[in-house]
Amino acid sequence: MQFDVILVGAGIGGLTAALALQQQGLRVALCEQANEPFVGGAGLVIGASGARVLGQLGLGAALDDLAVRPAHIAIRHFQTGRLLAETPTSAGDGCRIGRADLQRALIAAIHSNDRDCLRTGHTLADIGQDGSGLSALFGDRQMLRGSLLVACDGQRSAVRTRLFGDEQPRFTGYQVWQGLVPMSHLTAAAPTLGDATVWIGPGQQLGCGSICRGTQLAWRAIARSNRWTDEAWTRPSGVDSVLAAFRSFDAVARSVLMATPREHSQARGIFARDPLPAWTQGRVALLGDAAHPLAPFLEYASDLALEDALILARAIAAEGTTPEALQRYAAARLPRATALMQAAEAQGVRLTTLNPDTYGVSASEDPAYDPVTAPV
């Protein structure tokens, strides 16, 4: 069977790319190594550009229904809880949504076009390119034939290693925890939290925001660490380690952590990579974290993956399922992704010496960037 595009990896980037390409009338195979697509995780921040992508793909109503759009973001002193700044948001500034909610909406939209598009239990083993297309061999010995292959297989991308070598990531000296708390567990603290709150201190920050129509609170904490020696996927952690790291934070912040069910807390070390000079090789390209793994000091990773997906579809619409389409996509995306990778790593450096007593609000995402109309 011949496909126009084979996608490897069914995370947010792969799911969005599948839907965008389907809407161009293309035959798409979305291959995921897990036996079931992972539907879970904590919350996602979807900025203005990501919201534009989802609206363009017909998911604007789902986003309005499932997401929470905070009226403001409160920045507080880590020890005292004193309000340092209150940043207002507008309707176009994006929202917070449960990762699982967005995944389910994307999968439902993909299935409405083609029930066979998503293929689980497919671990990529080899890629062979020739003049007329490529062959993708999977671990179950199944071969798929396609015109293009796009790797959406995350920060530890096997396809990126295959194309560009095995670069060793740099440990930043930080780790990140994330968790989900039912709002019903936060009776005492909930009235003071608002829709979005961030506590900041030297080398530490804890942010939280409501998701799932306000029934859940998603949080993310970053602190210095020397315990991580290898880059790994997020793993279950419980709350003991994050409570120990944030023991000096105010009572409301700690109450959020203490209310987190043990099974809903995860952690990983934060590693950084140098931006790649290219994302394509012939008929193969990278997308999302596979192309630009973004350290979570900035919350733009989801936006970048959503933008990639739409720009890829626009490039293929312009050039057809050709290597030139992939080159056009990469040329349109590399400058922005590279700049944000560098900005994220710089933000990690700033966090080390951050003084909450002299805190000033920093610039946010450029609201003018629009992946629907950006040049491709």
pTM assigned to the model: 0.93
The fraction of the chain above a pLDDT of 70, given in percent, is: 93
Q: Which of 51-60, 91-100, 126-135, 162-171 has the lowest mean pLDDT?
A: 91-100
Q: How far apart are CA 136 and CA 143, in angstroms?
A: 6
CB within 8 Å of 301: residues ≥ 6 apart: 288, 289, 294
User: How much is the average pLDDT of 169-190?
Assistant: 86
Token pair recorded at residue 303 = 């936006």
Q: How far apart are CA 73 and CA 95, in angstroms?
A: 11
User: How much is the average pLDDT of 15-33?
Assistant: 97
CATH node for 2-68+97-168+273-351:
3.50.50.60
Token pair recorded at residue 97 = 């949504």
Q: What is the pLDDT of residues 233-260, one digit of tens each?
A: 667 788 899 999 999 999 999 999 999 9
Is a pLDDT exceeding 80 seen at residue 176?
Answer: yes
Domain ranges across the chain: 2-68+97-168+273-351, 170-272
User: How much is the average pLDDT of 222-243?
Assistant: 84
Query: What is the pLDDT, as a whole number, of residue 363?
Result: 47
Query: What is the pLDDT, as a whole number, of residue 290?
Result: 97
User: How much is the average pLDDT of 302-309?
Assistant: 97
Angle at 306 between CA 301 and CA 310, to 5 degrees: 145
Q: Is 9 helix (H, G, I), strand (E, B) or coil?
A: coil
At CB < 8 A and 24+ separation, what contacts does 23-28 make?
23/57, 23/58, 23/113, 23/313, 24/313, 24/316, 24/317, 26/316, 26/321, 27/2, 27/3, 28/3, 28/4, 28/114, 28/117
Q: Which of 74-78, 259-263, 313-317 has the lowest mean pLDDT?
A: 259-263
Mean pLDDT computed over every residue of the chain: 90
Is a pLDDT exceeding 60 seen at residue 366?
Answer: no
Token pair recorded at residue 297 = 């000091």
Query: What is the pLDDT, as a whole number, of residue 80?
Result: 94
Contact between 177 and 237 under an 8 Å Cβ cutoff? The reply is yes
Q: Is 261 helix (H, G, I), strand (E, B) or coil?
A: coil
Query: What is the pLDDT, as a whole number, of residue 39?
Result: 65
Q: What amino acid is encoded at 37 in this protein?
A: P
Is a pLDDT exceeding 50 seen at residue 301?
Answer: yes
The correct CATH number of 170-272 out of 3.30.9.30, 3.40.50.1220, 3.40.50.300, 1.10.540.10 is 3.30.9.30
Q: What is the pLDDT of residues 110-168, one digit of tens each?
A: 999 999 999 999 999 999 999 899 999 999 789 999 999 999 999 999 999 999 998 88
C-alpha closest to that of 218 among 279, 266, 251: 266
Token pair recorded at residue 14 = 């792969």
Distances from the Cα of 263 to the Cα of 40, 59, 164, 223, angstroms: 12, 30, 37, 21
25 sits in the region (left: phi over 0; alpha: psi -120 to 50; else beta) called left
Query: What is the pLDDT, as a whole number, of residue 336?
Result: 96
User: How much is the average pLDDT of 272-290?
Assistant: 96
User: How much is the average pLDDT of 340-353?
Assistant: 90
Query: What is the pLDDT, as a whole number, of residue 53?
Result: 97
Q: Is 189 helix (H, G, I), strand (E, B) or coil?
A: coil
Is a pLDDT exceeding 70 seen at residue 91?
Answer: no
Model confidence at 194, in pLDDT bands (50, 70, 90)? confident
Query: What is the pLDDT, as a whole number, of residue 12?
Result: 96
Token pair recorded at residue 160 = 């990126």
Model confidence at 193, in pLDDT bands (50, 70, 90)? confident
Alpha helices in the chain (DSSP H): 12-22, 48-56, 60-66, 99-113, 158-164, 190-193, 240-245, 251-258, 301-319, 323-352
The fraction of the chain above a pLDDT of 90, given in percent, is: 70
Is a pLDDT exceeding 90 seen at residue 270?
Answer: yes
Number of H helices and E strands in the chain, helices first, is 10, 18
User: How much is the average pLDDT of 94-101?
Assistant: 89
Sequential DSSP letters for 127-180: EEEETTEEEEEETTS-EEEEEEEEE---TT-HHHHHHH--PPPEEEEEEEEEEE
Do 2-68+97-168+273-351 and 170-272 share a fold? no
